Structure 1
Amino acid sequence: MLSGIAVAIGFVLFLGGFVWGAVVYQPYTVPTDSMVPTVQPGDRVLAQRIDGGEVRRGDVVIFKDEQWSDSPMVKRVVGIGGDTVKCCGAGGRLVLNGKELDEPYIEVAKLDLEGAPEVPASGTSFEVTVPEGNLFLLGDRRGASLDSRAHLTEAGQGTVARSAVTGRVDALAWPSMSMVERPKAYAALPGGISAAGPLPLQVAAVVVGAALVVLGAAYGPVVRVLGRGRRRERADVG
């Protein structure tokens, strides 16, 4: 009875975790190197299906805008409606609402003798006030990313509507496997950063479910073998 219960619970957890993951997440292959070092070209990522209204600063999002490309693109949100985004500050960093940002996730091409970035956060100078309902998006590899900076002369100054967003990248799935961290640089700003997605809980459900199925299926045969061994011992003693 215990074996059957364990197997039943295991199947529910195992299948439930997979179904839950399929409903919440969509896979996406990143074709370019614009998000290096966070995401490498060819990486398979898992993006949580979200509404554009759920997007926060620092999120790595998947979106589609016909003025940018016919295909979905992946970039990082550095500014939301009402924000003023400028580059660069005195320290060569991106300036958001008057404060320089610490962006440890961007590719640093060159360091000075003290280990500080010698190359600014962007080779393009700009200052944009993001319209309400829009997002300002940059790639982490600032020297090779075609992002909002390439569309500054267009309506909206390179910003994209929140409604264009279809997902938020939560994890790298292949060939490496790791969670995509939420940048702490944006945590103190109004709205904060996005909460962690449910992927770790889904993975835990699948792993625990698989373990229960295996252990439950093995429990019966093991008990029977041990029972026979005890009966033989008693028979020898008798």
Structure 2
Amino acid sequence: MTTQVEQDRGLTLRHVNKRFNGDAAPPVLDRIDLSIASGEFVSIVGASGCGKSTLLRLIAGLDGDYDGEIDFGGERVVTTDLSRGIVFQDHRLFPWLDVEQNVAVALRNARLSKAEKARAVAEHVELVGLKGCERHYPHQLSGGMAQRVAIARGLVNRPRLLLLDEPFGALDALTRGRLQLELQRIWEHERITMVLVTHDVEEAVLLSDRIVVMQARPGRIGEVVEVALPRPRKVGDRKVARLRDDIVEGFFTEAA
């Protein structure tokens, strides 16, 4: 049985390597070492092909074929688990289910009574600002509303770790900005560990305690940047822009 002390250990990756198509293939991820504390918000950024999403899939347990150690709450990650939720760029809602039913899907295997499940769904629909929309179907929702449903579904099991794989990448700038604020509000309310993969460096600066900057071919950690800026952070703030520019400049330096 996992103890509370072990749960509070957070997430640890030690010498993680990943190859596709056998040992002869070049590594997609090379010697990844990273520790994320319980309750921390960490973003992973980097150029396309650096292995960001592959790394997130390993942490989620969607792919257990890797070398090294991924430890969460005192246990090696080899498959999916209710303690780790995930939200993708594509909301992946079932079109024949309404908002309430789409969120409830995540509770199918939960050891809760029918009343407890209904209460959990209602609480999380309200948490993401969709109270009153419970009976709406996906085709009746905007892209931003659909992503709110996906976030509610990722949280309804009360995971200790929420993984987000470019969840706002397909949204327009205004909707993206609103959901960034919403995600920060949810994180501050829930205080669970969050790991965000994003290609938007400014988004990472706005939301994160730390930013993991990945390098490509093979995918590896170039640096880890502490974001020592007070919250809430705003787009256009000079300190936000300066840190964003410093990180982006590092991408160009690496490419040169």
- Between the two structures, name the one with larger relative contact order (CA 8 Å, sep ≥ 6): 1
Length-normalised TM-score, structure 1: 0.26
The structure that has the greater radius of gyration is 1
Length-normalised TM-score, structure 2: 0.24
